[in-house]
């Protein structure tokens, strides 16, 4: 089995752990390739994220590291995150759990697809989000005006500091901090959350992926669209963002930990 290994590069301990993990995987009979940035910090040869290929991508880091890997891979391969961050909700294993997992799964593992969303504007594809896309004001204390259109019908108009479009996977990230619900990642839908809305009647919406969804910015105030904290775009007045289910989901290796067990462990016991 071929394993692509990547680490956060701003933490010496994480890099040292990644180096020792690579040696352990080779000892167990895995073929190991290193991501280029990781390899450079370990004085080894590596392969750019965009060219990573294999049966499994192992990411040592926090949720940001996992999101970066998903965004930079041209073709999604199964990801296993080893938590070297704080909450690490996208990382299923703790560092001390990894050796036993790899020893027990040398031949196969279970993969769960996670829905992503594709965002387009004026026919141009902007990118895919695994967690969320957020439109926020570029000027503090200045509100934006939005309309939400579902199947061609305006479902709501409101003023707010911004709007967040989340996947079920992202419901335990920014969306949760913004007052949204925790959603089973097996459900497929678009979670829409106004950020600090002017009217209390502006509430979160959960919209089926079977419907067409459009978010329109109806103000001249400057705003930015941010996708998974990885890509940022300036928005102009009357910019309409179309949201649909992405053609290719992200793929996550299952480690036997139930989703709601992890919710209890990682979120309710912080």
Tokens of 82: 């080893």
pLDDT band of 133, cuts 50, 70, 90: very high
pLDDT above 80: residue 141? no
Burial zone of 123 (CB within 10 Å; 0-12 exposed, 13-18 middle, 19+ buried): exposed
DSSP notation for 142-211: --EEEEEEETTEEEEEEEESEEEEE-SGGGGTHHHHTTPPP--TTS-EEEEEEES-SSTT---EEEETTS
Tokens of 149: 């259109």
pLDDT band of 79, cuts 50, 70, 90: very high
Pairing of strands 144-150, 213-217: antiparallel
Tokens of 28: 């167990």
Find the mean pLDDT for residues 231-242. 91
Question: What's the pTM value of the predicted model, to 2 decimals?
Answer: 0.91
Which residues are CB-neighbours of 43 under 8 A, at least 6 positions away? Answer: none
Kindly list the catalytic residues: 63
List the chain domain ranges. Answer: 2-114+249-266, 117-245
Q: What is the pLDDT of residues 150-165, one digit of tens each?
A: 999 999 999 999 999 9
pLDDT above 80: residue 80? yes
Q: What is the pLDDT of residues 240-256, one digit of tens each?
A: 999 999 999 999 999 98
- Please give the pLDDT value at position 257: 83
What class is the 117-245 domain?
A: mainly beta
- Please give the pLDDT value at position 269: 56
Q: Which CATH number fits domain 2-114+249-266: 3.40.30.10, 3.10.20.90, 3.40.50.10330, 3.30.499.10?
A: 3.40.50.10330
* Cα–Cα distance for residue pair 193/196, rounded to 1 Å: 9
Quickly list H helices, the chain. Answer: 12-27, 36-41, 63-72, 98-104, 174-177, 259-266
* Cα–Cα distance for residue pair 153/241, rounded to 1 Å: 15
Least confident of 134-143, 191-200, 223-232: 134-143
Find the mean pLDDT for residues 62-77. 93
């Amino acid at each position: 089995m071929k394993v692509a290994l990547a680490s956060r590069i701003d933490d010496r301990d994480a890099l040292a752990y990644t180096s020792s993990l690579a040696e352990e995987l080779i000892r167990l009979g895995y073929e190991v390739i290193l991501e280029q940035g990781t390899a450079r910090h370990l004085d080894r040869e590596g392969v750019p994220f965009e060219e990573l290929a294999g049966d499994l991508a192992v990411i040592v880091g926090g949720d940001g590291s996992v999101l970066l890997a998903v965004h930079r891979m041209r073709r999604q391969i199964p990801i296993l995150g080893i938590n070297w961050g704080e909450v690490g909700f996208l990382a299923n294993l703790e560092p001390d759990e990894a050796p036993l997992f790899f020893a027990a799964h040398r031949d196969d593992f279970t993969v769960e697809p996670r829905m992503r969303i594709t965002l387009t504007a004026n026919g141009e594809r902007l990118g895919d989000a695994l967690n969320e896309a957020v439109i926020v004001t570029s000027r503090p204390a200045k509100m934006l005006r939005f309309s939400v259109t579902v199947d061609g019908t305006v479902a709501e108009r409101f003023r707010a500091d911004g709007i967040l479009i989340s996947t079920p996977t992202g419901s335990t990230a920014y969306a949760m901090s913004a007052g949204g619900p925790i959603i089973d990642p097996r459900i497929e839908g678009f979670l829409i959350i106004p950020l600090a809305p002017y009217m209390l009647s502006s509430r979160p919406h959960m919209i089926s992926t079977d419907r067409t969804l459009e978010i329109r910015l109806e103000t001249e105030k400057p705003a930015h669209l941010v996708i998974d904290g990885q890509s940022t775009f300036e928005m102009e007045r009357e910019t309409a963002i179309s949201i649909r289910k992405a053609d290719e989901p992200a793929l996550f290796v299952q480690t036997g930990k139930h989703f709601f067990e992890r919710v209890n462990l990682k979120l309710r016991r912080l």
